[in-house]
Each structure stands twice: as C-alpha cells, then as structure tokens.
Amino acid sequence: MVSSRNKDRIRYRYGICLNDNCEKCKSKEVQTIPARKDFVCSECGKQLRECPPPKQSNNKKLIIGIVAAVVIIGGIIAAVFSGGGETNPLKEEVTVAVVDSDSIAAANIEAELQKEKARADSLAKVAEEAKKKPAQAESAAKPAAKPATQPASQPAKSSGTKNLGYAIFKGSLKNGQPDDVNGRLIFKTSHVIDSRDSKGRVAEAGDYVIGEFSEGHLVQGIWYDSDNQVKGSVIIGK
C-alpha cells in the first residue's frame, strides 16, 4: 500500500531556491510545486533545486487525542444527568467529525498555488500591455527594419536518460552529454562523483546527486544517500 506521504510526493515536487537575492532562498523555505507545474520559485521565478519533502507534523495524533477526550467527557455528563438509569430529556447524541489533517494541508496548498497563479497571470498581463504601447509608437515613427541575420546553429539539445555505466543520468543532454541546471545522477555502483573533484568524493550504490551539469561534468549539486538523506554539497565549478 502506498503511504499518504508517497502519494503526496507523486502529486507534488519539492525544491529550494538558490537565488541569493530571493527571500525564499534566504529563509531556506522548501517550496511545494504541483507535478505538472513549472519547477520554478514562486517568488523570483528562478529554477528550483529538487529536495526531499519536509517531514509531516503529528496533527492526526493531536486530533485523535482531542476526540477521545471529548467522548470521555460526554460519557461522564450523560451519566450524571441520567439519574440512575432514568431517561433524561437533556441527554443528546454527540457527533464528532474527524477531519483528515492531510486533506486540510493539501487544500491549503492548492489554494495558495491558485492565488500565486492568479497574481502571476495579472502581472504578466500588465507587463504585456506596457510593452505594446511603446512598441506601437516606435513602429509608427521608424521605417521597417531589415530582416535580422540568422543566428549560428546551436548544439543539439534533448531531454532523456543516459547510461554512464556506473550511473544513470536523467535530464537534458547536449551533444549526448549531461547538460542541465537541474539534472539527476543516480549511482549504480561505488564510483567517484566527478573526475574533476579535487576531494575525490566517492558515491555508493543507490546514492544520487541533484544539481547543475555542463558538458558532461557536475558543476555543483546536493548529494543524497539511498534514504533521501543529505550527505553534503558538491561544488566543483566550470
């Protein structure tokens, strides 16, 4: 049976912002992004770095404890007013509704996401209208511009999976080599994380690194073990 936490991870992705100028980066907030939405910061719009989901609180245990206390107190009150077994017209049936804290949390997250989307759409519309006005005035004052020179062809880039032998890379590939700002390298055997790493750090089978890759090499990233626990950060540079 799939746990509620695993279901939540399938529906959402979790990430942290690495933009030093962003408030969410400074607060180290773990942002929850629906699986079909762009994996970017809701504050600054920069690409997020994927991370494990935050641990859930014990709201369910607290609610169950409160419900148990209410039931016990209700039983005591009913016994006092029963008058030794006589029917008491004041006695009423108490119905207690238990609300799933996970459902409340999911609803709150969805509501916040809808608010953020509406605000982003509104800002985009205002920006688009502002760009149209000066563009129209400029086109009326100036003659038609010459066609722009065709840019030089860029290296072919695609998304997919590449088997490196000792590990599997998932993300964008450029000329067949890992090249992604948010790629994932999953190790199948014990191996050096990157040949350019001066510290010679070695990942074990099941470990994985999420981070920036360029021309087949890791630039920087976060190193996790097979239990999704952070083992450290790896910064090599280009």
Question: Where are the domains positioned within the chain?
Answer: 4-55+100-124, 57-98, 157-235
Residues 6+ apart with CB under 8 A from 160: 170, 173
pLDDT 10s digits, 73-95: 666 555 555 554 444 444 444 34
Q: Are 212 and 194 in contact (CB under 8 A)?
A: no
Mean pLDDT calculated for residue range 10-31: 88
pTM score, two decimals? 0.37
∠ CA(96), CA(102), CA(106), 5° rounding?
A: 120
Question: What are φ and ψ of residue 190, in 5° steps?
Answer: -65, 125
Share of the chain above pLDDT 90, in %: 34
Reading phi first (left if > 0) and then psi (alpha if -120 to 50, else beta), residue 200 is in left
pLDDT 10s digits, 98-143: 445 555 556 666 777 687 778 778 777 877 776 776 556 555 555 5
Task: Report the alpha-carbon distance of residue 148 to residue 78 in Å, rounded.
Answer: 86
**Helix (H/G/I), strand (E/B), else coil: 235:** strand
How far is the CA of 165 from the CAs of 124, 186, 237, in angstroms? 45, 11, 24
Task: Report the alpha-carbon distance of residue 196 to residue 216 in Å, rounded.
Answer: 11
Q: What is the token pair recorded at 133?
A: 């006005």
Is residue 7 scored above 70 in pLDDT?
no
Higher pLDDT: 40 or 4? It is 40
Task: Report the alpha-carbon distance of residue 34 to residue 58 in Å, rounded.
Answer: 23
How far is the CA of 70 from the CAs of 63, 76, 98, 154, 236, in angstroms? 11, 10, 12, 68, 58
Helix and strand element counts for the chain (H, E) = 4, 12
Higher pLDDT: 200 or 65? It is 200
Confidence category of residue 70, pLDDT binned at 50, 70, 90: low
Higher pLDDT: 72 or 143? It is 72
Mean pLDDT calculated for residue range 208-231: 94
Confidence category of residue 63, pLDDT binned at 50, 70, 90: low
What is the 3 state secondary structure string of 63-111?
Answer: HHHHHHHHHHHHHHHHHHHCCCCCCCCCCCCCCCCCCCHHHHHHHHHHH
